[in-house]
């Protein structure tokens, strides 16, 4: 059987890779439509320099690039010349050690080399500028058009057809499902599903920004085809050899978006005329790095246009509407084959082998789909690539969503971070630092304060007030929802989601963001209504041994008979609320959900009543400490479908021996000198007096007492697998 009828829009390297992967799985009724000629389509495939740099802070992106390099090497359209990322500042050199750790964790071999090693790999460098480099031998160059042609030939041999000069103008649907496409040439192509591989051309309503990246080829510079790719991130440059010439690409210090309407309608619509004035600064940086360039001229030059998302990840997956529309957009050539393989698994098998949540098309809430927000985030993200990034660095756009407690928190000196577009307190400057304060190294101490330890300790000792408004809250109603096996008034935690049944056909669900909401919307039967009520509601948590003493006099709900994992509706002060007895801190406590309009009064009521009890306003950093001491893992951070599907691996709790170095995530974990896993999240545990980290390890190693090491820049930190929970293992404080 040929399988369902599939139309792929776009015959660039990603579209051709999709056709190759789908037909290899037996889905041979595949038609690929391209608005330009085959296969030099005029899109980014036609002008890409073809660089494949595999190591990234993301496990997913690294694996997509690794498969791409491996597949194209097998197809004979990949040159593994190696990659060399340079450091010209001490901060960048430290970052290269960290990137080496990512490579270790994700399975890509690399070496940090000294200036002499850099010169041996790329003799044209000015050695005096270079402090070191990260060498990845398996990085290389893809001949992108050739890769498209080879994969198209493979797919054609299995039954696929490729048609050029066909511009798709409309998607055809029936009852919310794809039935085909209509072209500008007035042709209809029936389809059971459509895969859009259109780069930024299909981005209407999707968070992609066309951005200019300049590229030049010099006259003869003494280069050679065996030279590695060179990246100079401190100046936003990358270089590759074209015979004895050099190609130089620049993202510029001020990345420039373009409008689709400004692109030419000729044979190269993804290319714009070169603007030499904007390249001058990049040329100066290139000639400083490679003095031999001073005797060359620009032989070819253009402004290429690439699709960029707000967070730097591609857009993959099935659109919510219409069903049957799949997307693989904003995919660079370095990820093209990996994306095609993973998306094919998703389409054919129902789920990809590797975790794709970072790339999921539906990962954004409506506010983060606003074109102005996407444009500003994309511009800032590219500009920020010219400095070593910290995972906790704030995004380029702030104050997108402000909760009802914001003014009260600001009065207390809240230092705000961002969580899903919401401003959220990290810690409160009005709280004292511990004496003596905990010290950290410079890296893990960024965007952190020892005040967070005070907030965590006071929560354990007395009671803390936490803002949970950024968490996503869902209301599910309808007669068919009544079939759920959850008694009224109870809470059922499942896979990082909390389901609360308030009435026979009414549920409140706390989820981990838009992806969980998307899954829920796809699963509900007719007659069930699902609403994201986050924007119109707010949430606080009161956790700590004095929580009942604080809330009891304020609420109409009887707290004496209010058991763990139960829920009640009532009033707190003058605010109608829903109380949920659930605690991520491992302490007695309640979450309090209310309409957003009651938020300021709700805060004031709790704050005034809590003065005599020593109520402390506590931020997200204290919450991280408490939840890790409890053994609470975060969905999409500490657990994914891929991780949980592997029966031979387990999530282990590591306690580190040194107190001043706290991993931030992505660091490799070693046992017996071999990489055995990676850190998913970490925090300083104030109750245990040591850093805590979660890591997925082989189950035979994930047993208490096992000694491992965590790679931290150029060092290895001793850690021990420890039984959980680290705090209150009998749960006596939680259940009191």
pLDDT in tens, 315-357: 999 999 999 999 999 999 999 999 999 999 999 999 999 999 9
Phi-psi region of 509 (alpha: psi -120 to 50; beta: other; left: phi over 0): beta
Strands 537-543 and 529-532: unpaired
* Per-residue pLDDT at 266 exceeds 70: no
CA distance 27 to 19: 9
Phi-psi region of 586 (alpha: psi -120 to 50; beta: other; left: phi over 0): left
Q: Phi, psi at residue 564, to the nearest 5°?
A: -60, 140
pLDDT band, residue 387 (cuts 50/70/90): confident
The pLDDT tens digits for 683-715 are: 999 999 999 999 999 999 999 999 999 999 999
* pLDDT score for 190: 98
| pLDDT, mean of residues 271-293 | 94
Q: Phi, psi at residue 35, to the nearest 5°?
A: -70, -25
The pLDDT tens digits for 517-556 are: 999 999 888 889 999 999 999 999 999 999 999 999 999 9
Which two structure tokens, joined as six digits, stand for 652?
A: 């282990």
| pLDDT, mean of residues 225-249 | 95
Its CATH architecture, for the domain 393-471+534-630, is 2-Layer Sandwich (3.30)
Which two structure tokens, joined as six digits, stand for 649?
A: 């691996």
- One DSSP character per residue, 130-159 reads --EEEEETT-EEE-HHHHHHHHHHHHHHTT
End-to-end Cα, the chain, rounded Å: 61
CA distance 383 to 12: 27
CA distance 522 to 528: 11
The pLDDT tens digits for 17-34 are: 999 999 999 999 999 999
- In 122-236, where do the E strands start and end? 132-136, 140-142, 161-163, 168-174, 177-183, 188-190, 193-196, 208-218, 229-232
pLDDT band, residue 253 (cuts 50/70/90): low
pTM exceeds 0.85, yes or no: yes
Omega prior to 725 cis, within 30 of 0 = yes
* pLDDT score for 396: 82
* Closest C-alpha among 630, 639, 641, 620 to residue 681: 639
Crossing angle (nearest 10°) for helices 620-630 and 451-461: 60
> Domain 6-185+205-309 class?
alpha beta
For the stretch 713-718, contacts whose Cβ atoms lie closer than 8 Å and that sit 24 or more positions apart, written own/partner, are 713/94, 713/97, 713/98, 713/101, 713/443, 714/97, 714/112, 715/661, 716/670, 717/656, 717/657, 717/658, 717/661, 717/663, 718/656, 718/657, 718/658
pLDDT band, residue 380 (cuts 50/70/90): confident
Say which DSSP state 119 is in.
Answer: H
Residue 295 to residues 222, 245, 260, 291, 690, Cα–Cα distance (Å): 11, 12, 37, 8, 57
Residue 533 to residues 67, 471, 621, 679, Cα–Cα distance (Å): 40, 11, 25, 33
Residue ranges covered by each domain of the chain: 6-185+205-309, 393-471+534-630, 641-732
> Percent of the chain beyond pLDDT 90?
83
Q: For all residues of the chain together, what is the average pLDDT?
A: 94
pLDDT band, residue 261 (cuts 50/70/90): confident
| pLDDT, mean of residues 381-407 | 89
In CATH, which of 1.10.3430.10, 1.20.140.10, 2.40.30.110, 3.30.1280.10 is domain 641-732?
Answer: 2.40.30.110
As to burial, measured by CB atoms within 10 angstroms (0-12 exposed, 13-18 middle, 19+ buried), residue 368 is buried
CA distance 333 to 93: 27
- The alpha carbon of 608 is separated from its chain's Cα centroid by a whole number of angstroms, namely 39
CA distance 545 to 366: 38
For residue 223, the SS3 value is coil
CA distance 714 to 704: 26
CA-CA-CA-CA torsion sign (64, 65, 70, 76): positive
Helix and strand counts by DSSP (H, E) for the chain: 17, 41
The pLDDT tens digits for 165-198 are: 999 999 999 999 999 999 999 999 999 999 999 9
Contacts of 209 (CB under 8 A, 6+ apart): 200, 257, 307, 308, 309, 310, 374, 375, 378, 379
| Nearest-10 Cα torsion for 224, 225, 228, 233 | 80
CA distance 703 to 612: 44
* pLDDT score for 306: 87
Phi-psi region of 242 (alpha: psi -120 to 50; beta: other; left: phi over 0): beta
Rounded to 5 degrees, what angle do the CA atoms 560, 566, 567 make? 95
Q: Phi, psi at residue 51, to the nearest 5°?
A: -75, 135
* Closest C-alpha among 362, 653, 390 to residue 511: 362
pLDDT band, residue 267 (cuts 50/70/90): low
The pLDDT tens digits for 85-112 are: 999 999 999 999 999 999 999 999 999 9
* Closest C-alpha among 490, 308, 278 to residue 384: 308
Dmax (CA) for the chain in angstroms is: 84
């Amino acid at each position: 059987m040929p399988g369902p009828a599939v139309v792929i829009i776009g015959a660039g390297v990603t579209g051709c890779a999709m056709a190759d992967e789908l037909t290899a799985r037996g889905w041979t009724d595949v038609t690929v439509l391209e608005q330009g000629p085959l296969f030099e389509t005029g899109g980014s495939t036609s002008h890409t320099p073809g660089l494949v740099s595999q190591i990234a802070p993301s496990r997913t992106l690294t694996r997509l690039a690794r498969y791409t390099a491996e597949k194209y090497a097998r197809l004979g359209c990949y040159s593994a010349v190696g990659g060399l990322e340079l450091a010209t500042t001490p901060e960048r050199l430290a970052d290269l050690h960290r990137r080496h750790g990512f490579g270790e964790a994700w399975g890509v071999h690399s070496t940090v080399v000294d200036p002499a090693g850099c010169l041996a790999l790329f003799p044209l460098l000015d050695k005096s500028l270079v402090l070191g480099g990260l060498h990845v031998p398996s990085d290389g160059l893809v001949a992108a058009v050739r890769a498209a042609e080879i994969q198209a030939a493979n797919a054609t041999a299995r039954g696929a057809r490729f048609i050029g000069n066909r511009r798709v103008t409309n998607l055809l649907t029936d009852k919310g499902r794809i039935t085909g496409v209509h072209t500008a040439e007035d042709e209809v192509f029936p389809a059971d599903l459509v895969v859009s591989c259109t780069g930024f051309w299909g981005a209407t309503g999707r968070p992609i920004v066309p951005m200019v990246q300049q590229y030049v080829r010099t006259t003869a510079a003494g280069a050679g085809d065996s030279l590695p790719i060179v990246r100079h991130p401190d100046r936003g440059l990358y270089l590759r050899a074209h015979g004895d010439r050099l190609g130089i690409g620049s993202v510029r210090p001020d990345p420039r978006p373009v409008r689709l309407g400004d692109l030419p309608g000729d044979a190269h619509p993804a290319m714009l005329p070169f603007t030499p004035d904007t390249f001058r600064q990049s040329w100066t940086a290139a000639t400083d790095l490679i003095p031999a360039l001073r005797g060359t001229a620009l032989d070819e030059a253009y402004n290429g246009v690439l699709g960029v998302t707000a967070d730097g990840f591609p857009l993959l997956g099935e659109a919510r509407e219409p069903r049957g529309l799949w997307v693989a957009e904003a995919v660079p050539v370095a990820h093209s084959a990996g994306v095609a393989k993973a998306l094919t698994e998703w389409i054919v098998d129902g789920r990809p082998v590797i975790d794709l949540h970072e790339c999921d098309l539906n990962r954004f809430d409506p506010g983060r789909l606003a074109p102005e927000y996407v444009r500003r985030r994309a511009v800032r993200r590219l500009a920020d690539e010219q400095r070593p990034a910290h995972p906790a660095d704030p995004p380029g756009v702030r104050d997108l969503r402000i909760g009802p407690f914001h003014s009260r928190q600001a009065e207390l000196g809240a230092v705000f971070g961002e969580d899903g577009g919401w401003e959220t307190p990290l810690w409160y400057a009005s709280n004292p630092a511990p004496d003596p304060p905990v010290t950290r190294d410079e890296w893990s101490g960024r965007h952190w304060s020892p005040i967070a330890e005070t907030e965590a300790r006071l929560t354990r000792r007395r009671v803390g007030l936490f803002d949970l408004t950024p968490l996503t809250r869902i209301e599910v109603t309808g007669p068919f929802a009544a079939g759920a096996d959850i008694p009224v008034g109870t809470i059922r935690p499942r896979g990082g989601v909390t389901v609360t049944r308030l009435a026979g056909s009414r549920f409140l669900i706390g989820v981990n963001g838009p992806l969980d909401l998307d899954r829920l919307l796809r699963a509900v039967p007719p007659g069930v209504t699902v609403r994201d009520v986050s924007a119109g509601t707010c949430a606080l948590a009161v956790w700590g041994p004095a929580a009942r003493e604080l809330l009891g006099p304020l609420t109409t709900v009887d707290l004496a008979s209010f058991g763990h994992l139960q829920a009640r509706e009532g009033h707190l002060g003058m605010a109608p609320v829903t109380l949920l007895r659930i605690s991520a801190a491992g302490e007695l406590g309640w979450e309090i959900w209310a309409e957003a309009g009651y938020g300021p009064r709700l805060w004031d009521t709790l704050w005034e009543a809590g003065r005599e009890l020593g109520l402390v306003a506590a931020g997200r950093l204290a919450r991280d400490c408490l939840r890790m001491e409890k053994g609470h893992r975060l969905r999409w951070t500490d657990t994914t479908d891929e991780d949980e599907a592997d029966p031979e691996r387990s999530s282990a709790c590591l306690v580190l021996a040194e107190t001043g170095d706290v991993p931030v995530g992505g660091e490799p974990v070693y046992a017996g000198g071999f990489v055995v896993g990676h850190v998913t999240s970490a925090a300083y545990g104030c109750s245990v007096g040591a850093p805590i980290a979660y890591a997925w390890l082989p189950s035979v190693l994930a047993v208490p007492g096992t000694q491992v090491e965590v790679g931290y820049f150029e060092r290895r930190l001793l850690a021990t697998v420890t039984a959980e929970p680290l705090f209150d293992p009998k749960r006596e404080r939680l259940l009191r």
